[in-house]
Amino acid sequence: MIRINGNTITSADLGMYIRPGSIKQKIAAQMMQNDAVYTYSSLDALNFELDARASIVNMSERLNNSLFSFKLFKNSICNEAYWDRTYEGGFRLKREAKPHEAIRDILKNSRLYGTECATAIVIVFYLGLVEVMPEGLFDRLFADIYLMDWKYLDRDLGVRTYGGVKNSLPGDCLYFINPDVNSETPEWQGENVIQLLNGYYYGHGIGITTANAIIRELNRNRFPGSQTSAYLLDQIVKPDYRYLAMRMKEYNE
């Protein structure tokens, strides 16, 4: 269910603003069908989240189809025209680089980049947002990007983890955990993924596939004799869309 200022929104209400059959329309339809209640202060705030989620889905697919490679932090690579690679294996934005250009370069010159799955999810969030926000605002909010899993997230990105979530949406980050991972393959302890449409997920290194396929792949990397299967946690990770929509409103005024 979607509510704006206490009023329940119907498909007909959104029909004037959303192209039928688009990713955005499919996400909105799923929100209206879910048991959860999604509340917004304005139609603009709802539109921003739908645009951002649709963009994240699209960028997940584009990144999957690029030459962006999977590498452990010790072997990570980046385009040093825009990023400084740190001793930890993360990518810190160069002082002279424009954030929107540096993020877009990850797709433009994807063969020059490689990292692990959590950092890939953060990259997808930035790639999605740079397509729906004015470049000036994006550069202002994300002036000091450091791409390194979940430990160094920009405060203005507002990424948080929400537990006990039964109704995830396209654009959400989810996590498949492998509790009995083989100690010889610790990189298979789990897989961060972006939920796409129609039961598919994007996971860096695994690609675009179904939940069952991800679980099968993780289960191949359990310690011998394990009877505990990998599984999907009931939690989501997402940016703070309401805060970002508010900052965009302020920027456009």
- Residues 66 and 168 placed together within one structural domain of the fold: no
Cα–Cα distances (Å) from 247 to 17, 40, 101, 172, 212, in that order, read 22, 15, 20, 21, 39
- Residues 94 and 148 placed together within one structural domain of the fold: yes
- Residues 145 and 248 placed together within one structural domain of the fold: yes
> What pairs with residue 147 in β-bridges?
91
pLDDT digit string, tens, across residues 175-208:
999 999 999 888 899 999 999 999 999 999 999 9
Output the six-digit token pair for 183. 């100690």
- Residues 58 and 131 placed together within one structural domain of the fold: yes
User: Is 20 contained in some domain?
Assistant: no
User: Is 31 contained in some domain?
Assistant: no
User: Is 5 contained in some domain?
Assistant: no
pLDDT digit string, tens, across residues 106-128:
999 999 999 999 999 999 999 99
SS3 string, the chain, reads CEEECCEECCHHHHHCCCCCCCHHHHHHHHHHHCCCCEEECCHHHHHHHHHHHHHHHHHHHHHHCCCCEECCHHHCECCCCCEEECCCCCEEECCCCCHHHHHHHHHHCHHHCEECHHHHHHHHHHHHHHCCCCHHHHHHHCCCCEEECECCCCHHHCCEEEECCCCCCCCCEEEEECCCECCCCHHHCEEEEEECCCCEEEECCCEEEEHHHHHHHHHCCECCCCCCCCEECCEEEECCHHHHHHHHHHHHC
- Residues 89 and 178 placed together within one structural domain of the fold: no
Q: Between 16 and 102, whose confidence is greater?
A: 102
Mean pLDDT of 145-152: 84
CB contact at 8 A, 37 and 1: yes
Output the six-digit token pair for 187. 């990189």
Output the six-digit token pair for 32. 């209206």
- Residues 197 and 212 placed together within one structural domain of the fold: yes
- Residues 248 and 125 placed together within one structural domain of the fold: yes
User: Is 110 contained in some domain?
Assistant: yes
User: Residue 19: what pLDDT?
Assistant: 83
Tally of domains within the chain: 2
User: Residue 8: what pLDDT?
Assistant: 87
- Residues 63 and 112 placed together within one structural domain of the fold: yes
User: Is 37 contained in some domain?
Assistant: no
Look up the domain containing 57 and give its range.
43-158+242-252
**Vertex 127: Cα angle to 196 and 24 (nearest 5):** 45
User: Is 4 contained in some domain?
Assistant: no
User: Is 6 contained in some domain?
Assistant: no
Q: What length does the chain have?
A: 253
Mean pLDDT of 166-178: 95
- Residues 72 and 138 placed together within one structural domain of the fold: yes
- Residues 231 and 143 placed together within one structural domain of the fold: no
Residue listed under structure tokens 């979940």: 150
* Whole-structure pTM value: 0.94
User: Is 190 contained in some domain?
Assistant: yes
- Residues 48 and 151 placed together within one structural domain of the fold: yes
- Residues 58 and 138 placed together within one structural domain of the fold: yes
